[in-house]
Amino acid sequence: MDDGILLVDKPAGMTSFGVVARVRRVLSEKQRKKIKVGHTGTLDPFATGLMIIVVGKECKNASSYSKLDKVYEAVICLGKTSTTGDSEGEINNVSDDTPTQSEIEKALGKFTGETTQRPPIYSAINIGGQRAYKLARAGKYVEMPERQVTVYSLELIDYTYPEIKIRTHVSSGTYIRSLAEDVGKALGTGAYCAKLRRTNIADWSVNQAKSLSDMGIVN
């Protein structure tokens, strides 16, 4: 492939830039020339799921893909918080309270529709020309501006304390880690995103995607 898109199912433990680098190397080796490759929106290293990889001339259209709606499945762990909002940060105990399923559903209902969200400091957002996560890792104070996002649906799939499993359809720019933290605040228990999988970008499904091993790429 010289131009177009590839649908990739990103594994856990790898950065989005790492996926791009591996795909670029394999395509360039197969074509015996340097192939331009980019992504259309990062997935956190701990997350898995669908990435749209743009190749060749299609790289100029990357921003149009990044603006598309997305669907995620996530596991939210109650009673604890994380410095990064996910399982990779420092975990702190907050509460032993056990909300009822009715209380969970009520809390989730507060976050459907248009809502204001503050992205996590450990994110790839540019702050003054630098990635926020780099500033945070350097111990610098990071003021993350709030943004308007839309949560089209937020469905409770399963609840077995301390874990809530949800499926949510959201607008571009929505951070599920921030959503998990906001749910924890609404319940008064604290929470972080323990697992995250992107299943859809617009009409593309992760079921259509190739794993890196399918592409002959070793993690």
Residues with catalytic function: 44
Which is nearest to 165 in space by CA: 149, 140, 183?
A: 183
Q: What is the DSSP string of 83-95?
A: SSSBTTS-EEE--
CA distance 170 to 167: 10
Residues present in the chain in total: 219
- When computed from its CA atoms, the radius of gyration of the chain, rounded to whole angstroms, is 18
Which is nearest to 108 in space by CA: 179, 174, 4?
A: 179
CA distance 12 to 168: 20
User: What is residue 207's DSSP assignment?
Assistant: G
Q: What is the DSSP string of 154-203?
A: EEEEEEETTEEEEEEEE-TT--HHHHHHHHHHHHTS-EEEEEEEEEEETT
ω into 119 cis (within 30 of 0): no
Do residues 91 and 81 touch, judged by C-beta distance below 8 A?
yes
